[in-house]
């Protein structure tokens, strides 16, 4: 895999939020509640509804995989990778693109869910386009800029520019400007600079720009048609971009039009969740999840087939979790996963620089690559704790605002 493919690594959201998404996604009212509300003769305030905690859990699982992926790339345990069973598990961690596909789907899900929840028959954007973008900017930009500033401070210490971190430089004004304006992912020489996981935040923002268009498309048509059209666009781009001038090819291949189908699939899953429709029995959805991740593991780690396999698996997980009593929903709603999911955007943003600093601190010990990897794994809770501290300072104050 290329460095970039491995790093795709939003969140945001994406929560790599990442890739960051809406923080108050809630589940539909039960049929009994709907009936009771419909038969009331006097207006009353709506009763509280249950938060979709499994969304946070899935986001946390994706962010933790990204952390594991970059840990093994920081120090490859060559000896351990040749062991039976253990080696297969460890080499699976080199597949770092699929978690961000999960982030992108969750982003589409969480942005569209309030629209469908308000009016399932005719979903619309709840605010003006400008207000929507302003809220999204306030939500993702402050921690993103704070993490970027922290990474830039590391460049004041030339000794740190070694190992994996050597690839994030050199930095100039153009690189900084492209990151400030969220279009660095469209320029190959800028995409993984400053903080290599950040390129997907640019992609996340560009999908926000297109979200109202997709809402309109869903109103005019239906989910499968919109997904089919966006998939056709992605397939044409992926199949022809090498024939185009490099600059145009990068904008098309690395920009939002190559990933709209994943974002749209998340929106469709949100609609089905509100309607409590699974489409298929649980056993069939389970087979889709297993087959999707199997294709990812047996494939090259990138490309359209990889992204679609990941999307199918994530889509299956979202549908399985519609039932709050299902094993999938209960597992993803595990308390510790949900808590990490709440600050997974911060974890995505700052795990790389903290991981590098920890690796750099171990260098004087002259440990083997395997021993270094083991120490890094054991220190993973520390990295998560540092990300939580960053979240409290630079993300949490803006969660309500966004």
DSSP string over 91-108 = HHTT--SHHHHHHHHHHH
Whether the Cβ atoms of residue 132 and residue 232 lie closer than 8 Å to each other: no
pLDDT digits (tens, 9 = 90+) for 47-61: 444 578 999 999 999
- Give the per-residue pLDDT at 155: 92
pLDDT band at 121 (very low <50, low <70, confident <90, very high): confident
pLDDT digits (tens, 9 = 90+) for 246-264: 999 999 999 999 999 999 9
User: Which of the two residues, 2 and 145, has the higher pLDDT score?
Assistant: 145
Cis peptide before 170 (omega within 30 of 0): yes
The domain locations on the chain are 3-18+49-398
Where residue 218 falls (left for φ over 0; alpha for ψ -120 to 50; beta otherwise) is alpha
pLDDT(387) > 60:
yes
To the nearest whole percent, how much of the chain has pLDDT over 90?
Answer: 73
- Give the per-residue pLDDT at 50: 53
- Give the per-residue pLDDT at 401: 60
Would you call 212 helix, strand, or coil by DSSP?
helix
pLDDT(282) > 90:
yes
Mean pLDDT of all residues in 109-132: 90
For residue 144 the two structure tokens come to: 């993103």
pLDDT(244) > 50:
yes
- Give the per-residue pLDDT at 216: 93
What is the value of pTM for the model shown?
0.85
Whether the Cβ atoms of residue 78 and residue 369 lie closer than 8 Å to each other: yes
Q: List the alpha helices (DSSP H) in 276-379.
A: 282-298, 304-320, 327-332, 335-342, 344-362, 369-378
The Cα–Cα gap between 312 and 297 comes to 14
The 10 Å Cβ neighbour count of residue 379 is: 19
pLDDT digits (tens, 9 = 90+) for 214-228: 999 998 888 899 999
pLDDT digits (tens, 9 = 90+) for 139-151: 999 999 999 999 9
pLDDT band at 402 (very low <50, low <70, confident <90, very high): low
Whether the Cβ atoms of residue 226 and residue 268 lie closer than 8 Å to each other: yes
pLDDT(39) > 50:
no
pLDDT digits (tens, 9 = 90+) for 169-200: 899 999 999 999 999 999 999 999 999 999 99
- Give the per-residue pLDDT at 129: 92
pLDDT(45) > 90:
no
To the nearest whole percent, how much of the chain has pLDDT over 70?
Answer: 87
The Cα–Cα gap between 18 and 105 comes to 10
């Amino acid at each position: 895999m290329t460095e970039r493919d491995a790093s795709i690594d939003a969140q945001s959201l994406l929560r790599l939020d990442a890739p960051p998404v809406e923080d108050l996604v809630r589940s539909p009212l039960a049929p009994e509640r709907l009936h009771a509300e419909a038969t009331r003769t006097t207006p009353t305030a709506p009763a509280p509804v249950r938060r979709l905690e499994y969304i946070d859990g899935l986001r946390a699982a994706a962010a933790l995989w990204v952390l594991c992926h970059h840990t093994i790339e920081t120090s490859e345990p060559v000896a351990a990778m040749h062991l039976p069973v253990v080696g297969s598990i460890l080499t699976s961690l080199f597949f770092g693109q699929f978690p961000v596909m999960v982030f992108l789907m969750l982003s589409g899900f969480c942005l569209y869910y309030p629209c469908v929840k308000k009016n399932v028959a005719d979903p619309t954007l709840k605010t003006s386009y400008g207000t929507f973008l302003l809220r999204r900017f306030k939500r993702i930009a402050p921690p993103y800029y704070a993490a970027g500033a922290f990474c830039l401070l590391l460049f004041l210490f030339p000794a740190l520019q070694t190992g994996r971190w050597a690839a994030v430089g050199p930095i100039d004004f153009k690189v900084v400007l492209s990151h400030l304006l969220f279009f660095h992912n469209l320029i190959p020489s800028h995409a993984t600079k400053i903080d290599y996981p950040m390129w997907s935040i640019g992609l996340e923002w560009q999908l926000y720009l297109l979200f109202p268009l997709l809402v309109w498309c869903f109103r005019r048509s239906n989910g499968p048609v919109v997904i089919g059209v966006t998939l056709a666009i992605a397939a044409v781009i992926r199949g022809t971009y090498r024939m185009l001038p490099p600059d145009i090819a990068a904008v098309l291949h690395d920009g939002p039009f190559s990933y709209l189908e994943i974002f749209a699939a998340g929106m469709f899953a949100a609609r089905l969740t509100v309607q409590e429709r699974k489409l298929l029995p649980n056993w069939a959805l389970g087979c889709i999840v297993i087959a999707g991740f199997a294709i990812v593991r047996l494939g090259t780690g990138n490309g359209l087939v990889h992204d679609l396999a990941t999307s199918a698996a994530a889509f299956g997980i979202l549908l399985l979790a519609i039932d709050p009593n299902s094993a999938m929903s209960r597992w993803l709603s595990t308390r510790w996963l949900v808590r990490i999911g709440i600050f997974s955007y911060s974890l995505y943003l700052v795990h790389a620089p903290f991981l590098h600093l920890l690796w750099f601190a171990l260098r004087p010990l002259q440990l083997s690559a395997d021993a270094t990897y083991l120490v890094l794994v054991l220190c993973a809770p520390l990295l998560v704790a540092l990300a939580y501290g960053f979240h409290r300072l630079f993300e949490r104050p803006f969660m309500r605002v966004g």
